[in-house]
Chain A
Amino acid sequence: MIKRSIFTSRTLPYLLILPQIVITLTFFYWPALQGLVRSFMLSDPFGGRTQFVWFDNFTALFTNPLYLKSIVTTCLFSALVATLSITIGLFIATMANRALKAKAVIRTLLIWPYAVAPAISGILWLFLLHPSYGVVSYAIKTWLGIDWNPVLKGSDALFMVVMASAWKQISYNFVFFVAGLQAIPTSLIEAAAIDGASPFRRFWTITVPLLSPTLFFVTVMNIIYSFFDTFGVIHTMTQGGPGGATNILVYKVYQDGFIGLNLGSSSAQSVVLMTLIITITVLQFKYVERKVQYVG
């Protein structure tokens, strides 16, 4: 889309867009292309010869049990983080929307975790869930009688990184749900109330359906967040351990490529992740477009 009334200049528009284009070419497209090319290459680690090997890197990847395990871990991790943070975020937002007084104060008290870095969220929860000193782990051990040890037990470690990642995301979801709830016309709710629908019934039959676009959007953003932005959480809390129990895909790319210097495999993993995020983005835009047409 463009304005009806525009300026004419031969060079100015190019000059204006130039910085953006230079940066995207150098730091986005060229590296992405390099990664793509390299995912079809086999190079020896001393930087000598490279050889074109077609899809060998990908075949190796998808027959590697460690990689398959990482896929399962990532999906489980992502599902848990999204479910937990969306449920809590929606619940608190619904309550905050009901609260007649002190809305501003409530919002202030709830949005600041958005500003906490994932890595710092990891540090806070590392202490809370520390096997010997943590207060939450103390509660788990004494009240639930579970032998809590995230350093040794994979499932405990996964739970730990899920808690740290979901906690940070609650406020993000809260902001969107509050905005979504406020956009729902009160007349609809009032009409249903006059017809005698209980508050819970109104929530399920009016609020939730009208909130579904927000819900969809927030779900997509939470999945992207848990796939890509939780690197800091993993790095500070578990470094992918114990035994790969928290080694999500993004962390594995870093480990194999940057620490292990396995260029071919790391590039192939990057390409897999790229395909994934392209799919998610395209799906999201398709959905948004449909919604716009529906409304207009």
Chain B
Amino acid sequence: MALSFKPIRPLLETGTSAASKWFSYIGLCLGVLLLLCSIQMYINIRQMVVEGNMRKNGFDYVPIAKNITTEALKNPEKTLFTQPEVDELKTQPFIQDAAPLIANQFRIQLSAGSLLSFETDFFIESLKEDFIDTVPPTFKWQEGQETIPIIFSSDFFEIYTVFSAGQKLPKIPRDAAVGFSFIVNCYGNGRQQQFIGKIVALSDRVNSVLVPESFLSWANQTFDQQKPLGASRVFIKTKDANDPHLLSFLDSKHYVINKEQTILGRNKMLLQGIVTGMGIFGLIVVVLALMLFSFYLQLIIARSKDNLKLLLTLGYSPSWMSKKVSNRFLPVYIFVVLVALLLTQAIQWLFYHYIMQDKPQLSPFVHWAVGATALALILLSLFTNYRMVKNQLYKLN
């Protein structure tokens, strides 16, 4: 038959005040609540900032350009990125990769054929496929192929929709845009050639008209034959577009990055600072509450010293007693942490629903890391109590 703690229990109930007990419970609950809320808010901020950018495989892909000043206008080459500058970008620790947007160096005209009286000069660009968010398998071109697959910017498509109404051009629904064809005429170097441009995908990330790199390098050589010019825009691949090191590096080089994509980052630092401060405060409260619990336990041990000493004299094992005495508080710890967790969940739901207006990047439920922290707190408090009680009992022995 297992050794029962039941006959031992009354030996420890020696004059502990209910008020001090509840005071420590409430203190612990508030501390845990602060800590859990801080972790959840930290995660919320991260999710809002990270999800705000165009991420692929956990990376941000953002275009940068050179700051165009009036002086630079006199010297247009200075607004373009040279190859050493692109290489320098690649060597930065906070930039995983960089790829220039290569533009056409010859004249391109786009028309809708005989169906519509629409003709315009246009531009195309190419970019390393890894940097494009939507690359269908049809985005390939080989010499001799008449059809050029095109990835069209979603933003440009929106502009067309607005523009088409005034120009009496047909409206094209977004779904039907993929598969839409038009005629592309290339001129230069005394030659002219007609191709069929076919939209194979829309891109939310790249504001351009993208063609396969193989086509543009062939076309630039065929219709221009001059030395390739630099790129006016370079896409960078980074773990965090809001990384302060990246932002200060770009500022020092007078490179321009999309302000909207980094404004959150600049605010993020401030917000994370506040939330971290809140978390540290919560942690201090938790430590204080745990200390209070520990003192409370020490008080019980001090008050029951004679009884505990006699139990050890009779042959009770100090480990067994430590386990039993510290486990007495397990239901209290679980209850306190569960209450704090439920309150955190309620706060998260209110935050999601009323403050963030059901923002899709956020979840109405607490993150798993918050639950894991709550569990870790229970285990930590049990472990520290067990160690403390055991040390005290060994001293009595």
A and B interact physically: no
